[in-house]
Amino acid sequence: MNKSVKDYFFVSIQFFLFGLYAFDFLPKMEYPKSIAIIGVLMAILGFVIMAIALFELKTNLTVFPTPKTNSELITFGMYKFSRHPIYSGILLFVYGYAIFSFSLYKLLISSLLFVLLYFKTNYEESQLERKFPDYSNYKMKVGRFFPKIK
């Protein structure tokens, strides 16, 4: 499938937000150090989910929301629980590290990244539905970022 301006727009904004995340311009928040442990665990879990999902995609992997021409629909492994486990892992990681570092700024950037990924997945899923007839059924059964609670 051919990439559109939207593909480049979403990826550009995503990498821009990753770049902003690297810096911190606001004072640190104050809360109990025990909360930092939750942040570390979230970040580690996010990294593991992201790594496994990247491995499962293999040659289907692309930074763009439009699927590759020769790609196949992956519905096993992490993709059995989330339609976008790489994004799930990214979100857990950035929110977890923001909590660990007591950074309101990083929480703000994480929230902007969440909003961007929500809209990026809307566009990506419209592309996937056009390419894969079974995607609509998969979409009804599996949650966007996290497992559906039944």
Over residues 35-50, the mean pLDDT reads 96
Q: Minimal CA–CA distance to 79: which of 43, 44, 45, 55? A: 55
Q: What is the 3-state secondary structure (H, E, C) of 28-67?
A: ECCCCCHHHHHHHHHHHHHHHHHHHHHHHHHHHCCCCCCC
In the DSSP assignment, the letter for residue 22 is T
Question: Residue 150 has what pLDDT?
Answer: 64
Q: Minimal CA–CA distance to 112: which of 89, 126, 95? A: 95
Question: Is the pTM above the cut of 0.85?
Answer: yes
Higher-pLDDT residue of 30 and 107 is 107
Over residues 113-126, the mean pLDDT reads 97
Q: Percentage of the chain with pLDDT > 90?
A: 78
Residue 95 has pLDDT above 70, yes or no: yes
Residue 5 has pLDDT above 80, yes or no: yes
Per-residue b or e along 84-106, where b marks 16 or more CB atoms closer than 10 Å to that residue's CB: bbbbbbbbbbbbbbbbbbbbebb
Q: Other C-beta atoms within 10 Å of 109: how many? A: 21
Question: Residue 142 has what pLDDT?
Answer: 96
Spans of all domains in the chain: 32-62+73-141
Higher-pLDDT residue of 14 and 30 is 14
Question: What band does 25 get if pLDDT is binned at 50, 70 and 90?
Answer: confident
